[in-house]
Amino acid sequence: MRLDDCFARPTTGVPGRFITLMDRKSDDFNRTYQYTGTYTETLNMSSYNYLGFAQSEGPCADAVEACVKQYGISFCSPRGAAGTSDLALEVEREVAEFVGKPASMVFSMGYVTNSSSFPALVSKGCLIISDELNHASIRVGARLSGAVIQSFKHNDMADLERVVREAISQGQPRTHRPWKKILVVVEGLYSMEGTMCDLPGILALKNKYKFYLFVDEAHSVGALGPRGRGVCDYFGIDPSEVDILMGTLTKSFGANGGYIAAEKHIIDKLKSSNAATQYGETPAPCVLMQILASLKLITGELCPGQGEERLQRIAFNSRYLRLGLKRLGLIVYGHDDSPIIPVMLYHPAKLPAFSHEMLRRKISVVVVGYPATPLISSRARFCVSAAHNKEDLDRLLAACDEVGDILQIKFSTGVAGGLEHLPEGVDPKNEKEWRKENRIPLQAPRWNLEDVVQHGVQDSKIPLR
């Protein structure tokens, strides 16, 4: 119960660059709360608002307002009945074109997109090979499908190949018949780790062993790649090499719901046999319009240049903040360009302490512990947005510098990055050999905040160290 006030903090208003918390207190160790009637405006590092489309004004909000006047609030029907509107069909065309697939279908909830789609894609006699850190919605959908489920170590291509080879050679349990389908399921960007899937490595195995590939781009679509198309765009890979692309419309588009994009015959199969199509409510008109407007902003059809600016800003913000945290001595997980930045706290008792200290500095953060992570891998998770500016990130770095000293969480030894600049003439690629030849050990990064801020902008443009 002592942790409870760190979670589900009530908010009011738009979850944009800032978020307003409703103040509350407890006299019984967080069993119950009383609202004080006051509010606290905090820097929002907790919301999935990657491209800053969570706005109450601007082109998207104007389009949504006009949509409500034309379509009302709800279609009052599932897609399988009378809920397939011209707006839904247009969104599906735009989503398919955006991610580079022939067809797509949209759902009213991201969680339901996964949990209802797997039973329509695979069944008894099929095998799902899932990354061990895949989202709960994938796990639930896989269990509902009736297929056999095996997992492989996170982003470990050698272990994935081992599992695939064994599955092909041994076949189904007891009978040893060949599997009807083998479906490998990964996420484009993992929400608790900040890591991207090794898509080139997975596709190399796919071409070798001929399995099907499902990529969940809930956190990567819109946030990664020079055009915001997700991990395929980031790695420069043709989307046709991935059989099924899934994504949510919450994180980067300021709406809600999810989508599946694939070949037309797969989408037709999903539309005819997916439970969410028959029984679930169709996305609301205002939500569909928000998706449509944000897609057009990203592609430049609406307000040319604004979408490109947002993509550049989130890329810079992600690298700048990550590099700064590493140089302060904090252990940071994830890839350099990931907008999800987990800072390791390790000890569960430091979760409430970190959350409270940041709140005292009027910064709203998410802290994550067991069962979402292993018991001794508790962490704070910062979600970077294109709505943030450099001053916001410097404010967060200053707070982390102070709180890191108070809670003694500056554990970095330098292995994970944040190192001092190399002497002139030393290539970063040869740094390991240079240190070995000159017997220069790694020094734990403990930069001064002023130096972090001074050098961060320039250093974030080159490969992070």
Q: What confidence tens digit (pLDDT) does each residue in 20-41 have?
A: 999 999 998 888 999 999 999 9
Average pLDDT over residues 437-457: 90
111-166, pLDDT tens digit by residue? 999 999 999 999 999 999 999 999 999 999 999 999 999 999 999 999 999 999 99
Picking from 70-79, 318-327, 425-434, which range would have the lowest pLDDT averaged per residue?
425-434
pLDDT of 183 over the 90 cut: yes
Cβ contact 378:346 at 8 Å: yes
pTM, two decimal places: 0.93
pLDDT value at position 192?
92
pLDDT of 405 over the 90 cut: yes
231-255, pLDDT tens digit by residue? 999 999 999 999 999 999 999 998 9
pLDDT of 1 over the 60 cut: no
**4-44+308-459 and 59-299 in the same fold:** no
pLDDT value at position 112?
93
pLDDT value at position 443?
85
Q: 105: which 2 tokens?
A: 């279908």
Average pLDDT, the chain: 93
Q: How many CA atoms, within 13 angstroms, populate the side-chain half-sphere of residue 59?
A: 18
Comparing 396 with 424, the larger pLDDT belongs to 396
Q: How many Å apart are CA 337 and CA 322, to the nearest integer?
A: 9
59-77, pLDDT tens digit by residue? 999 999 999 999 999 888 8
335-393, pLDDT tens digit by residue? 999 999 999 999 999 999 999 999 999 999 999 998 888 889 999 999 999 999 999 99
Q: What angle do CA 153, 155, 160 make, to 5 degrees?
A: 60
Comparing 3 with 101, the larger pLDDT belongs to 101
Cβ contact 259:101 at 8 Å: no
With bands split at pLDDT 50, 70 and 90, how would you rate the model's confidence at 98? very high
Query: What is the amino acid identity at position 139?
Result: R
Enumerate the domain spans of the chain.
4-44+308-459, 59-299
Q: Which CATH number fits domain 59-299: 3.40.640.10, 3.30.70.270, 2.40.10.120, 3.20.20.10?
A: 3.40.640.10
3-state helix/strand/coil string of the chain? CCCHHHCCCCEECCCCCEEEEEEEECCCCCCCCEEEEEEEEEEECCCCCCCCCCCCCCHHHHHHHHHHHHHCCCCCCECCCCCCCHHHHHHHHHHHHHHCCCEEEEECCHHHHHHHHHHHHCCCCCEEEEECCCCHHHHHHHHHHCCEEEEECCCCHHHHHHHHHHHHHHCCCCCCCCCCCEEEEEECECCCCCCECCHHHHHHHHHHHCCEEEEECCCCCCCCCCCCCCHHHHHCCCHHHCCEEEEECCCCCCCCCEEEEECHHHHHHHHHHCHHHHHCECCCHHHHHHHHHHHHHHHCCCCCCHHHHHHHHHHHHHHHHHHHHHHHCCCECCCCCCCEEEEEEECCCHHHHHHHHHHHCCEECEEECCCCCCCCCEEEEEECCCCCCHHHHHHHHHHHHHHHHHHCCCCCCCCCCCCCCCCCCCCHHHHHHHHHHHCCCCCCCCCCHHHHHHHHHHHCCCCCC
pLDDT value at position 155?
96
pLDDT value at position 419?
82
Cβ contact 297:306 at 8 Å: yes
State in Å, rounded, how far the first CA of the chain is from the last one.
40
In the chain, what percentage of residues exceed pLDDT 90? 78
Query: What is the amino acid identity at position 140?
Result: V
For 4-44+308-459, CATH gives: 3.90.1150.10
Q: How many Å apart are CA 412 and CA 332, to the nearest integer?
A: 9
pLDDT of 87 over the 90 cut: yes
Sign of CA dihedral 269, 272, 274, 280: positive
Please report where in the chains the tokens 């991201």 appear, as a residue. 110
